[in-house]
Amino acid sequence: MAPPNLQTSSGPINTADSNEEYARVNWDALGFGVIPTDFMYVMKCSKEGDFLHGNLTPYGNIELSPSAGVLNYGQGLFEGLKAYRKEDGGIQLFRVDQNALRMKMGAERLCMPSPSVDQFIHAVKQTVLANKRWVPPPGKGALYLRPMLLGTGAVLGLAPAPEYTFLIFAAPVGNYHKDRAALNLYVEDKLHRAIPGGTGGVKSITNYSPVFLAQSHAKAKGFSDVIFLDSVNGKYVEETSACNIFIVKDNVLSTPAIQGTILPGITRNSVIELVTSFGYQVEERLIPVEDLLEADEAFCTGTAMIVNPIGSITYQGKRVEYRRGQEALAQKLYEAVVGIQTGLVEDNKGWTLQLN
């Protein structure tokens, strides 16, 4: 299970109970869902204090006051990242420092204390090593990690919570979309995901349930997901329910500019840095929906899906299909990113962190 130097709230983890290299999971049938693992990481602090000492604890339910800030006022953030097992058996993380920095940015927006970058990385490493047997074999998936920062202190009046909990749990996952099928997206022009000056640019927990209505309507019509437009003009592409979007026209790759309503995705940033090696120019700009309709290719990026092609979009009754397949840029970028994440491609950018 976990190396003997890891600490839980009750002392060192005893690894003598299990010699299993892998948990008993059908790795070939792995999807994207909750599979309880062995341990989670918990660290607390007060509003005026700092996060100091965290511990591993057996995975399980947590206890909250009914008046916890996160339950009453949505004061909470989360991150998502993955640990991969390499061909030599080693385990590595991908750009974990960027998740830590993004959480700090979100915590400032929501008036929350946050772990330091070093504390965040240490906690992630501890969680992975404690759940090492749940990291899928090479090529079978990844161990998904969900760090959360929650206002868990009791509060009744509208104010920041008096106590905060940093928690990480993990689950083995496969592809977010089965077999990485090309997405069939609907452009939503009535409901909006984010507004200028709001929290669309941070991973606030309050950003996600508001997309459910538009998403459920789209899925009821047979679409994979929705693309949201800006809330001011109603004509510029922003992002889907939970991932960034790119379009390709000739040799130019374009993605909506980060202006406070779009999440600065870590996979998004990685794609922007990698794509010039394929001979493409990159533009971060306002993208009118007309440019989306006229693109040669389109794809989405995110931690869960990595890089996933868009097969078609439908806007006001007009359906447009895009280039996809082995020669598409989306496939080349997917292979490049996954290659670095899994150790099959040399990491020349210092993005990966080896755990053993």
How confident is the model over 100-122, as a mean pLDDT?
97
Q: What is the mean pLDDT of the chain?
A: 93
Task: State the pLDDT at residue 249.
Answer: 97
Taking the alpha carbons at both ends of the chain, their separation in whole angstroms is 14
Structure tokens at 167: 């928690």
Q: What is the pTM of this model?
A: 0.92
> Phi, psi at residue 81, to the nearest 5°?
-155, 175
User: How many Cβ atoms are within 10 Å of 77's Cβ, its own excluded?
Assistant: 28
Give the separation between CA 21 and CA 133, rounded to whole angstroms.
6
Smallest CA-to-CA distance from 35 within 140, 131, 148, 177 is with 131
60-84 pLDDT per residue, tens: 999 999 999 999 999 999 999 999 9
pLDDT confidence band for 179 (50 / 70 / 90): confident
Could you tell me the domains of the chain?
39-174 (3.30.470.10), 183-342 (3.20.10.10)
Residue 3 has pLDDT above 70, yes or no: no
Give the distance from CA 106 to its chain's centroid: 14
The vertex-65 CA angle with 61 and 70, nearest 5°, equals 85
- The catalytic residues are 203
